[in-house]
Structure 1
């Protein structure tokens, strides 16, 4: 069953709810209720209010949110880099409502926004150990580029690694 919740651009009033949603989807025991978590690879925080405020306040970025009856059910970050390449990040769906199509709807909305912003391609990074998530994106038309980027070890803003071999793979898709 697809969730037909409204998807709109987040504002400053959404920051606290966004933070709760993202942490619940990515970290700790709450994340383990869903299938897309990083809780076994990383502890600590996934993001903080300051980082979210920087995204919301940056005219070159947006956080799209899906609003449900009980509050935010999902979000996704978009940005356009120099050269017209779009970026997707921070895709989070409340673990209680995962596997119902909301993630795919958020991705489609993000891609539509990026196309309106004249992006011809979109890329994302995913921790290479998250093979199920990589496969999910591949089913949505993304391909591995072969590029691998370093994980920011030592920067607690990105979490506390539980393994020493984390890295990001880059996936891309033409719009």
Structure 2
């Protein structure tokens, strides 16, 4: 598996991957999760998306945004057939390295509270729950992880 910046030619594949990865949450949430309706052309053009490829096929995507004091993981999605193979961990490691590169001491993200498996997934990767609330009509759980200065990669 390799990671690389997403390119314009990847946008449709990213959108399809995200839709597939989040589709099973629709019944739990009662609506499509926010990442399913996002237009990935803009963050791809801005260089804010990274993909993981396995045998020439995109199996994971990470979308980030830089803020004063932290790097935000806006979307993390792994193709259903690639889940459990370390793709998400690889992308989160990239986010931490990127935060370090940019001098941001923390990575933040949120997930829907109905995505219960994500709550334990992020906790196992060193993220701490920082709060809960409704945002854009979704019930969110917010997480943060300190990024110690040091070696990148």
Whether these two folds match at TM > 0.5 is yes
Task: Tell me if 1:134 matches 2:106.
Answer: no
Retained in 2: the 8 A contact 1:150–1:167?
yes
TM-score for the superposition, normalised by structure 1:
0.75
Is 1:52 aligned with 2:24?
Answer: no
Contact 1:74 1:94 in 2 (8 A): yes
Greater helix proportion: 2
Q: Which runs of no fewer than 5 residues in structure 2 stay unpaired?
A: 148-153
Per-residue deviation, 1:117: 1.5
Tell me the distance in 2 between the aligned counterparts of 1:42 and 1:72: 28
Query: Using CA pairs below 8 Å that are at least 6 residues apart, which structure has the higher relative contact order?
Result: 1
Using the alignment, how far apart are the partners of 2:37 and 2:99 within structure 1?
Answer: 23
CA distance in 1, matches of 2:99, 2:37: 23
Give the alignment partner of residue 15 of structure 1, picking from 8, 11, 33: 11
The CA deviation at 1:131 is 2.2
Which 5+ residue runs of structure 1 have no aligned equivalent? Answer: 33-37, 154-165
| Equivalent-residue separation in structure 2 for 1:86 and 1:25 (angstroms) | 23
**What's the secondary structure of 1:118's corresponding residue?**
coil
Q: How does 1:106-125 map to 2 (within 5 A)?
A: 106-125=91-110
Q: Map of 1:66-85 to 2, 5 A cutoff?
A: 66-81=52-67, 83-85=68-70
Q: CA deviation at 1:124?
A: 0.4
Aligned residues: 144
Superposed CA RMSD: 1.7
2:146 — aligned with what?
A: 174
Counterpart Cα distance in 2 of 1:67 and 1:6: 5
Report the TM-score when normalising by structure 2.
0.85
Please tell me whether the aligned partners of residues 21 and 80 of structure 2 are also in contact (alpha carbons under 8 angstroms).
yes
Correspondence for 1:152: 136
How far off is 1:169 after superposition?
1.4
Instruction: State the Cα distance separating 1:44 from its structure 2 match.
Output: 4.3
Q: 1:42 offset after TM fit, Å?
A: 4.2
